[in-house]
Amino acid sequence: MPEPADAHFLEAAASLAPSGAPAAPGPLSGARCLELFDAQLGSRHLDLAARWLQARGSGFYTIGSSGHEGNAAVAAALRPGDPALLHYRSGAFFLERARQVPGQTPLWDVLLGVVAAAEEPIASGRHKVFGSRPLNVIPQTSTIASHLPRALGLAFAVERAARLGLGTPWPRDAVVVCSFGDASANHSTAAGAVNAAVNCAFQGLPLPLLLVCEDNGLGISVRTAPGWIHAAYGSRPGLAYFHADGCDLADAFAVSAEAAAYVREHRRPAFLHLRTVRLMGHAGSDVESSYRTPAELAADLDRDPLLATARLLVDLGAATPAGIIDLYEAKRAEVMALAEKAADAPRLSSAAEVMAPLRTAGPSQSERPPAGEPVTVAQAINRTLAALLDERPGLVVFGEDVARKGGVYGVTRGLMKRAGAARVFDTILDEQSVLGLALGFGLAGMLPVPEIQYLAYLHNAADQLRGEAATLPFFSSGRYRNPMVVRIAGYAYQKGFGGHFHNDNAVAALRDVPGLVIASPARPDDAAGMLRACADAAERDGRVCAVLEPIALYHVRDLHEDGDGGWLAPAGGTVPLGRARTYGDGRDLTIATFANGVRMSLRAARRLAARGVACRVLDLRWLAPLPVADLLREARATGAVLVADETRRTGGVSEGVLAALADAGFEGRAARVASEDSFIPLGGAAAHVLLSEQAIEDAAEALVRSAR
Contacts of 562 (CB under 8 A, 6+ apart): none
Instruction: Give residue 508's domain range.
Output: 374-550
Whether the Cβ atoms of residue 424 and residue 415 lie closer than 8 Å to each other: yes
Question: Are residues 319 and 276 located together in one domain of the fold?
Answer: yes
Question: Are residues 438 and 477 located together in one domain of the fold?
Answer: yes
Q: What is the CATH number of the domain that holds 82?
A: 3.40.50.970
Q: Is residue 575 part of a domain?
A: no
Question: Are residues 595 and 522 located together in one domain of the fold?
Answer: no
Q: Rounded to two decimals, what is the model's pTM? A: 0.95
Question: Are residues 249 and 292 located together in one domain of the fold?
Answer: yes
Average pLDDT, consecutive stretches of 10 residues, N- to C-terminus, the chain (708 residues): 90 88 73 97 98 94 95 98 96 98 98 96 94 96 87 98 96 97 95 97 97 96 95 96 98 98 98 97 88 94 97 94 97 98 96 88 67 94 98 97 95 97 97 97 98 94 94 94 97 79 90 96 97 96 97 97 97 92 97 98 97 97 97 98 97 97 96 95 90 97 87
Question: Are residues 66 and 140 located together in one domain of the fold?
Answer: yes
- State the SS3 of 397-423: EEECCCCCCCCCCCCCCCHHHHHCCCC
Query: What's the pLDDT score for residue 658?
Result: 98
Q: Is residue 464 part of a domain?
A: yes
**Closest by CA position to 208, among listed 255, 264, 145:** 264
Q: CA angle 418-421-424, nearest 5°?
A: 70
Whether the Cβ atoms of residue 401 and residue 454 lie closer than 8 Å to each other: no
Question: Are residues 258 and 318 located together in one domain of the fold?
Answer: yes
Question: Are residues 205 and 318 located together in one domain of the fold?
Answer: yes
Q: Is residue 123 part of a domain?
A: yes
For the chain, counts of helices (H) and of strands (E) = 25, 22
Question: Are residues 337 and 481 located together in one domain of the fold?
Answer: no
Query: What's the pLDDT score for residue 365?
Result: 67
Beta-sheet strands, E only, within 201-269: 209-215, 218-219, 222-223, 240-245
> Mind telling me the catalytic residues?
502
Question: Are residues 533 and 636 located together in one domain of the fold?
Answer: no
Query: What's the pLDDT score for residue 18?
Result: 81
Question: Are residues 320 and 382 located together in one domain of the fold?
Answer: no
Q: Is residue 569 part of a domain?
A: no
| Sequential DSSP letters for 170-187 | S-TT--EEEEEETTGGGS
Q: Is residue 28 part of a domain?
A: no
Query: What's the pLDDT score for residue 363?
Result: 46
Number of domains in the chain: 3
Question: Are residues 404 and 272 located together in one domain of the fold?
Answer: no
Q: Any long-range contacts for 323-332 (C-beta under 8 Å, 24+ apart)?
A: 324/13, 324/16, 325/10, 325/13, 325/14, 327/37, 327/38, 327/41, 328/9, 328/10, 328/13, 328/41, 331/38, 331/41, 331/42, 331/44, 331/45, 332/45, 332/48
